[in-house]
């Protein structure tokens, strides 16, 4: 099944209830979507609030969470580390790097 991409470009309050992403918009009725059907959530407004409980549930369901800046360009990406074995292996390799290599300044 194809996962949904949700884009938020207006002020909103995002929370979770009953395994659903619940969206509260100003002067509108709340809407919801099943978290298991979501693949990507894009946050593109400075007045979006999101609860930690929702972030945790999204990541537990392998949903990518992208945040954007004032120019509408992506500046951050949250991914589930537990379910992504390749990324976990890369992090483990970075942790185990030798001391001399850790001492090299970035960009050298």
* Dist. CA 33–CA 7, nearest whole Å: 13
* Dist. CA 47–CA 51, nearest whole Å: 13
The answer as to whether 16 is a domain residue is yes
Q: Contact at 8 Å (CB) between 66 and 43?
A: yes
Residue 67, number of CB atoms within 10 A of its CB: 15
Whether the model clears a pTM of 0.85, i.e. scores above it, the answer is no
* Dist. CA 63–CA 40, nearest whole Å: 5
Buried b (16+ CB within 10 A) or exposed e, 28-45: eeeeeeebeebeebbbbe
Note the pLDDT of residue 44: 97
Number of domains in the chain: 1
Residue 35 domain boundaries: 4-80
The answer as to whether 45 is a domain residue is yes
The answer as to whether 26 is a domain residue is yes
Q: What is the CATH number of the domain that holds 51?
A: 3.100.10.20
Across the beta sheet with 48-50, what order do the strands follow? 31-34, 20-24, 12-17, 48-50
The answer as to whether 108 is a domain residue is no
Q: Kindly report the average pLDDT of the chain as a whole number.
A: 88
The answer as to whether 87 is a domain residue is no
The answer as to whether 100 is a domain residue is no
What is the mean pLDDT for each group of 10 consecutive residues in the chain (108 residues)?
Answer: 91 96 92 95 96 96 94 93 68 78 66
Sign of CA pseudo-dihedral 77, 49, 71, 40: positive
The answer as to whether 98 is a domain residue is no
């Amino acid at each position: 099944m194809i996962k949904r991409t949700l884009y938020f470009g207006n002020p909103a309050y995002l929370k979770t209830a009953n395994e659903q992403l619940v969206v509260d918009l100003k002067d509108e009725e709340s809407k919801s979507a099943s978290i298991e059907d979501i693949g990507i959530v894009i946050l593109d407004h400075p007045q979006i609030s999101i609860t930690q409980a929702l972030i945790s549930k999204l990541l537990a369901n392998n949903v990518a969470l992208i945040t954007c800046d004032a120019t509408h360009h992506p500046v951050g990406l949250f991914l589930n580390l537990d379910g992504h074995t390749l990324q976990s292996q890369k992090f483990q390799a970075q942790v185990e790097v030798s001391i001399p290599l850790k001492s090299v300044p970035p960009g050298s």
